[in-house]
Amino acid sequence: MVNLLIQALTLISGLVVNFVIPGLYGLEAYGEFIKVNVLVFLFQKLLDIINEQLLASVEPEYILVTSLFMAILIFLLFSGLSLLTDLGNPLLLSVMLLSSACLLSLFGLRLYRWIVWYLVLFLGVFFTALFVSHQNIWSLSIAEILSLTNLIPCLLALVALFTHGAKLPFGKQLRSTLWQVITLLPRMISITLFFNLFTNILPYILSKILPVRELGLFRVIVSIIQSATSLFPINVRAVFVSFISGGQRQDQYRIIMSIALMYFALVGLFGYFVSWLFPKYSGYLVLLPCLPVLYWTVVTERYLIASGFQRRIVAINVSLGCLAVVCMIFFVQGLEAAKVFYALGFSTYLLTLHLLCRPGIQLPVIFWVAILSPLSIVMANVSLICGILYMCSLLIIATWTLRLRLADFRKLRF
């Protein structure tokens, strides 16, 4: 129940930030904000993605300090580059880095109830800051609202962490932690390279070629798809922690993948129903077929890391990442191309992970799920029926091919 509440609050937090702000300030103002601060989100997401691997390699009580060391290194890199050119708001980056470190440590120590309080306070501060700003009580920019929204919950989180198990390393432990940061950072950056390219580098490249309104629209569209990990009732970090523990890992992986396939197929069908009822919102839901692919990719990557396939994942990230950068530069020249490229990228990554690591799901299933996803997006310009048929086929795969049964739900250990 607590995990479900965390997922609901995480989803709401992401949606209000990515939809309330564009709704109140307009797509142009939001697009201008993204254009100015796109590298802030790049550096923050870089830390968020690479730090998650600490759950598998650092003792829970030292995750906070280790992730803060990572944050300091990333902030110093940002500050050094800022001397050459304007990269965005450094205060916003600093509080977002702190927020990322605190949340990760709360998950590492399994302080799930404190995560609930953190997210409740996050939403409370966000809406209070919006109210104060729009009532002209205190004029706040978008960056200032987001800074306050991240900073105040972090103060609560720090108190909770240091009173519930987080420790400061001393002596040999301090030297060991610093050395761990130095040695882990290159591997952690490379193991998350592909996700960083598509969540951060792609918007940065688009910020140079798209009008601010289209840039804001792309950010909103992608935010819907990236919320896949929050839409699912079980938190991805909780899944990762369970994989690391090793108990019935392969069985848990099969169950979570089949449940996710059915779940996101139903979410996709509901999304198409909304598009039919409200055609003016259909443009925001064009990437719906990416939902199951993105979630399967995230869970598969975490499962393989927990299973000891780090070197293969690094090789896949580096090779596909280099290819993706070339394609971004030479082939992504507009909003429509960016949508298709985004879908193709995650489908290719999912296919490659399964081809080279063979985590257990039948390859014909992976080919069907991955290849038909971008095809459904391309065909959406002709008719939504292709997307609807795709989602219906996923329901058949989940129940017939993957043999999802009611008893599987009771086997979950998250």
For 158-205, the pLDDT digits (tens) are 999 988 888 877 666 667 767 766 776 677 777 778 887 887 778 777
Q: Is residue 234 part of a domain?
A: yes
Find all residues with CB under 8 Å of 336, minimum gap 6, and list them.
none
Residues 175 and 220 in one domain: no
Residues 247 and 149 in one domain: no
- Show the low-confidence residues of the chain (pLDDT under 50): none
Q: Is residue 197 part of a domain?
A: no
How much is the pLDDT for 414?
55
Nearest to 305 by CA among 414, 188, 185, 411: 188
Look at the chain and report how many structural domains it folds into.
Answer: 2
Query: Please, is 329 exposed, middle or buried when counting C-beta atoms within 10 Å of its C-beta (0-12, 13-18, 19+)?
Result: exposed
Q: Is residue 196 part of a domain?
A: no
* Domain termination site, one of 191, 224, 259: 191
Q: Is residue 268 part of a domain?
A: yes
Residues 307 and 340 in one domain: yes
Residues 369 and 242 in one domain: yes
Q: Is residue 198 part of a domain?
A: no
Q: Is residue 273 part of a domain?
A: yes
Residues 290 and 398 in one domain: yes
Residues 245 and 345 in one domain: yes
Quote the Cα angle for 199-353-74, to 5°: 35
Residues 245 and 377 in one domain: yes
Question: Are the CB atoms for 236 and 229 separated by under 8 Å?
Answer: yes
- Residue 147 corresponds to which tokens in the numbers above? 């800074």
* Domain termination site, one of 135, 163, 191: 191
Nearest to 386 by CA among 289, 292, 291: 289
Residues 172 and 207 in one domain: no
Q: Is residue 146 part of a domain?
A: yes
Helix residue ranges, H only, 192-289: 193-196, 202-209, 212-226, 228-231, 236-245, 249-277
- Distance between CA 165 and CA 154 in Å, rounded? 16
How much is the pLDDT for 198?
81
List the domain range (segments joined by +) for residue 352: 203-411
For 85-106, the pLDDT digits (tens) are 777 888 888 998 999 889 888 9
For 23-53, the pLDDT digits (tens) are 777 777 777 887 777 778 777 877 777 777 6
Instruction: Answer whether 0.95 is exceeded by the pTM.
Output: no
- Distance between CA 412 and CA 375 in Å, rounded? 33
How much is the pLDDT for 232?
80
How much is the pLDDT for 183?
72
Residues 144 and 220 in one domain: no
Residues 67 and 169 in one domain: yes
Q: Is residue 121 part of a domain?
A: yes
* Domain termination site, one of 159, 191, 223: 191
How much is the pLDDT for 246?
66
Residues 31 and 94 in one domain: yes
Residues 153 and 229 in one domain: no
- Residue 187 corresponds to which tokens in the numbers above? 């591997």
